[in-house]
Amino acid sequence: MIQYLQEAAAFIRQQTDQFTPDFGIVLGTGLGALVQDIKVAHSLDYADIPHFPVSTVESHSGKLIFGELGGRRVVVMQGRFHYYEGYTMEQVVFPIRVMKLLGIQKLFVSNAAGGLNEEFNTSDLMVITDHINLQPTNPLIGKNIDELGPRFPDMSEPYDQHLVQQALDVSQQHNLQVRTGVYVSVPGPMLETKAEYRYLSTIGADAVGMSTVPEVIAAVHMGLPVFAVSVITDLCVPGKIKKVVLLDILEAAAKAEPNMTLLITELIKRQA
């Protein structure tokens, strides 16, 4: 695995004139338009990068974008990978590990999620303060890769509290209504039953999705501070549940996207 990671990183450096990003950004379902605010220096298709998986979800473009956002050098995943696509967890987090080798200092993650909190509305932003992992496995199962991190990484604070507070300060300064809460990650790809929504709410989740947690586990393992935000694309509480199709999710994400872009851009500007 280390060899594969190093080969991918070496190829990327060669193709991007040794571009060294300060921050990594992962864009979730329907949230790819943030790239429009980036001063793009290089763009690589996932399919061209050695050992990289390829996005199979129609709303994920499958490009690695290098450039400047908020005056800082960033690498952006325009499209991510999910366990439900048939990838192993090592494949799901492969790009996160490559970005670490490329030099990122912090990781910013976004996703589309269902709202389990009765106070949430469609297109709300939820800053993730903690998570619950209900995926059937995780990227650290198996032999530890000592070059990346310790065998038993501490997960008591997976989301950097300083970044969370900075995000709340940004939201107040720009009059953005931002929620905070716990994200639960499930395998998918089907959406949940009403009974499952009740269960997820009962165990302490405020939003549910099919991603993010594997990437965060890999990032924490490597010592990367993480900030993550969910866009609430549908409501999963009694009386508000309705049948959802992908188009509904994309429309809700698109409505929230300008606020998410503003939040992440301003947050990146504040980094030392």
Confidence of residue 150 (pLDDT cuts 50, 70, 90): very high
Q: Count structural domains, the chain.
A: 1
Q: What is the mean pLDDT of the chain?
A: 94
pLDDT in tens, 85-120: 999 999 999 999 999 999 999 999 999 999 999 999
State residue 90's pLDDT score.
96
- Average pLDDT for residues 233-237, to the nearest whole number? 95
Q: What does each C-alpha distance from 11 to 15, 65, 104 come to in angstroms? A: 6, 14, 17
What would the pLDDT profile of 176-194 be if each residue is shown by its tens digit? 999 999 999 999 999 999 9
Q: What is the CATH number of the domain that holds 131?
A: 3.40.50.1580
How far apart, in whole angstroms, are the C-alpha atoms of residue 50 and residue 113?
31
pLDDT in tens, 40-82: 999 999 999 999 988 766 555 689 999 999 999 999 999 899 9
- Print the domain residue range for 45: 2-269
DSSP the chain: -HHHHHHHHHHHHHHTTT---SEEEEE-TT-GGGGGGSEEEEEEEGGGSTT-----STT---EEEEEEETTEEEEEEES---GGGT--HHHHTHHHHHHHHHT-SEEEEEEEEEE-STT--TT-EEEEEEEEE-SS--TT-SS--TTT--SS---S--S-HHHHHHHHHHHHHTT--EEEEEEEE---SSPPPHHHHHHHHHTT-SEEESSSHHHHHHHHHTT--EEEEEEEEEE-STTT-----HHHHHHHHHHHHHHHHHHHHHHHHT--
Q: Has residue 31 got a pLDDT over 80? A: no
pLDDT of residue 59: 52
pLDDT on residue 79: 87
Q: What are phi and psi of 240, to 5 degrees?
A: -120, 0
Q: What percent of the chain has pLDDT over 90?
A: 88
- The two beta strands, 23-27 and 106-115, are parallel
